[in-house]
Chains A and B, each alone.
Chain A
Amino acid sequence: MAKGWISGIYPRSERLIEATRRQDPKLEKLFEEEKRKIIRQQSDAGLDFITDPLIDWDDILRPFTENLSGVEIGPLDRFYENNTFYRRPLVLSEVKSRGHILSNAISNTLFPKRKLWKVDLLDPYSMADLSDNRYYRSKEELMFAYAKVLAKELRALPSNPSLIQFNAPSLARTKDKDNISQAKEAIRIATRRITATKCLHLYFGDISSTLPQFLDFGVDILGIDFVNSKLQSFQGTTFTKGLACGCVDAQNTRIERPSEIVAFVTRAVNILNPKSVSVLPNTDLEFIPQPFATKKVRAIGKAVRELGDEGI
């Protein structure tokens, strides 16, 4: 049966934007209230895995940039090809964690008790690619250091998520076979002794030429950003994983009709014949204002139910 979920950072409401701008003393409480609301929306929409909307993260790396030893907060840098910026981590000495960064940064106590939940992280390759490495001999060495940190962080989570999603924008954009091969090893290190379902979501790049190399990664599901990769280009591919179908455009306010999503996913299933299929936005929804993100969440939920009715 098709499943549905969302990924990464969710947009803040106008009320919360104002509160963060004026550094409201009640900010912590406001974050919690809004997280509860967004989690409820995911649940009400019928999404299968609930995720922390991460609205208190200033960028997708920030909890690590602020809390890893060996790392300092660097200058603003463009986040891929977006008009959005992040603080580049400056790696100045050995990267270490005590294993509490993720558990402190995720509000899993807010999740409904009977719902499955997921964790979102950048993959080690993307983390290294987005960092300013001034300590390790190479980007690969830094990537493996990050992989060990992520393994420790994931094992230290107080309860077990059912799904771990590695978001891998830099990996989606590289065409370098060696990079991809080393990134596979980094994912293996990061997920050692982890029993949850593992998803590698490849967004912000066209992976039509590199997909075969991702098929032997140690993950159960591969996510494809179908805004940047054309479905037709995968015709004839032998796909051996579950498919996370990133066909809802998280960077445009046009709201997809559930029937459109259903039609797209059906075509994707026919072309790739995946072991399982799930529906999600192509990337984090923080690139559109919250009212539009909420509509997209509902559209995903409806589409997943319709797909179920059609036996997908």
Chain B
Amino acid sequence: MNPGLQSQEIGSLRKPRWLVKTLKDKHTSEEEKEKARKDAAFLNLVLLEKAGLDIVYDGEARRVEMYEYSAKRIKGMVFSGRVRSWDAKYYRKARCVDKVGYTGNYHLDEFNFVKDRATRMIKVPITGAYTIADWSYNEAYTTKRELALDLASKVLRPLVRDLVEAGAEFIQIDEPAATTHPHEMKLVVDSFNETVREVPGVKFGIHICYSGNNYEALFPEVLNMKNHQYALEFANRDSWELGRDKDVRIGYKALDMFGRQNENKEIGLGVVDVHVDRVESPQLIRDRVLYAVDVMGDPSLIHVNPDCGLRTRSREIAFFKLSNLVTGVQLAKTELGLL
């Protein structure tokens, strides 16, 4: 029985400065670097549990970046250099130069580490096939569709299976590119479904963020997606005023579309803006949650999370934001008589 209104993390936390320094140090052995990664993963886990979240992971302490970490471990991909994201911010982009292949469970170590230490439920975030295809140069396949579906069936599905075999019960497939090309929505859905095909008994979420705030583009194709949860960003577009009316909760307008579908799928409700230091009050979180419960008509369909990973904020700010998120959820539960 899903109790609803569970609080969950979405992805990465900012890496501690000492970790970055250690990883960049050419004189530090790989063994020492691995120890440092484990220390950071443990600290992240403690931070998330201390904040009071119901569903946790390791803040992606071992991953350089969500795309690069995965692409580096996929057969057929080689890195080409950096391209601009904006201003002086760049990311490394891979070329797909041969048919893609699975090289082994590249999240196994981090998963086992978290599993052995977490006292809360675990959710494993993995980067989805569509986003990897969209963010890579395709030199090996005739079409992007072929590349994305091969990534889904030959890389992501084996990865998911191996994670499930290791004990994963909840997997979040990150697809930040999902709505970048509205006309490719069928491919987003098909690649997701190929990834989760014939993997029973596991909860699958999809996380979509900063894709131009264009959730309209998801419909109607997304209704065919075999996911259990949509984890979405909303808070960055919302007002900071307290209140549960439509004209106050302007950032949550798109929620209506999900409410109308009666899909019985959960919403991972983004209630914390990850791009500002200002910390949302528990009362603001409460009002955002209660507004969403009203739209969806059932608290068991609402789970609560930040808009995206909090790596853009200091660890201190991230902790305060998450702590207030948890307190706000408690306030909402109290009003709904769920406590």
Contact = CB atoms under 8 A, between A and B. Distances in A.
A72 to B, nearest CB: 16
Interface string A280-292: 0000001111111
Interface in A210-266: 251-254
Nearest to A78: B212
Given A11-B83, A17-B82, A85-B86, A253 B137 contact: yes
B83 A253 contact: no
B83 A59 contact: no
Contacts of A81: 180-181
Contact of A86 (B86, B90, B93, B135): B86
A299 to B, nearest CB: 15
A32 interface: no
A228 B81 CA distance: 25
Given A81-B180, A81-B181, A253-B139, A289 B81 contact: yes
B134 to A, nearest CB: 7
A253 B90 contact: no
B105 interface: no
Interface string B68-95: 0000000000001111111110110101
Interface in B42-84: 80-84
A76 B137 contact: no
Contact of B80 (A58, A83, A251, A292): A292
Interface residues of A, number: 29
A273 interface: no
A17 B82 CA distance: 8
For the residues of B in contact with A, the DSSP-based class is strand
A253 B181 CA distance: 20
B86 A289 contact: no
Interface residues of B, number: 23
Contacts of A289: 80-83, 93
A20 B88 contact: yes
B84 A21 contact: no
Given A83-B134, A288-B137, A253 B85 contact: no
Interface in B111-155: 134-135, 137-139
Contact of A252 (B81, B84, B85, B138): B138
Contacts of A17: 82, 88, 90
A83 B85 contact: yes
Nearest to A21: B88
Contacts of B85: 83-85
B86 A76 contact: yes
A29 B199 CA distance: 57
Nearest to B210: A78
A254 B86 contact: no
B82 A253 contact: no
Contact of B177 (A20, A83, A252, A290): A83
Contacts of B87: 58-59, 87
A174 to B, nearest CB: 15
Given A78-B180, A81-B181, A252-B137, A291 B81 contact: yes
Contacts of B211: 78
Nearest to A291: B81
Nearest to A253: B137
Interface string A79-117: 001111111000000000000000000000000000000
Contacts of A87: 86-87
Contacts of A251: 137
Contacts of B135: 83
B86 A84 contact: yes
Interface in B182-228: 211-212
Contacts of A59: 86-87
A14 interface: yes
A11 B212 CA distance: 24
A292 B180 CA distance: 24
Contacts of A14: 81-82
Interface in A262-306: 286-292
A251 B88 CA distance: 19
A226 B243 CA distance: 51
A169 to B, nearest CB: 14
Nearest to A286: B84
Contact of B95 (A11, A20, A82, A253): A253
A81 B184 CA distance: 11
Contacts of A287: 83
Contacts of A82: 180
Interface string A46-87: 000000000000110000000000000000101001111111
Name the residue among A20, A81, A292 with the largest chain B CB count within 10 angstroms.
A81
Interface of A: 11-12, 14, 17, 20-21, 23, 58-59, 76, 78, 81-87, 251-254, 286-292
Closest A-B pairs by Cβ, 3 of them: A289-B81, A85-B86, A20-B88
Given A251-B137, A289-B83, 20 more contacts: A11-B84, A17-B88, A21-B90, A23-B88, A58-B87, A78-B180, A78-B212, A81-B181, A83-B91, A83-B135, A83-B177, A83-B180, A252-B139, A253-B80, A254-B139, A286-B84, A288-B83, A289-B93, A290-B81, A291-B81
16 contacts: A17-B82, A17-B88, A17-B90, A59-B86, A83-B85, A83-B135, A84-B84, A84-B85, A84-B86, A253-B139, A254-B137, A286-B84, A287-B83, A289-B81, A289-B93, A291-B81
Interface of B: 80-88, 90-91, 93, 95, 134-135, 137-139, 177, 180-181, 211-212
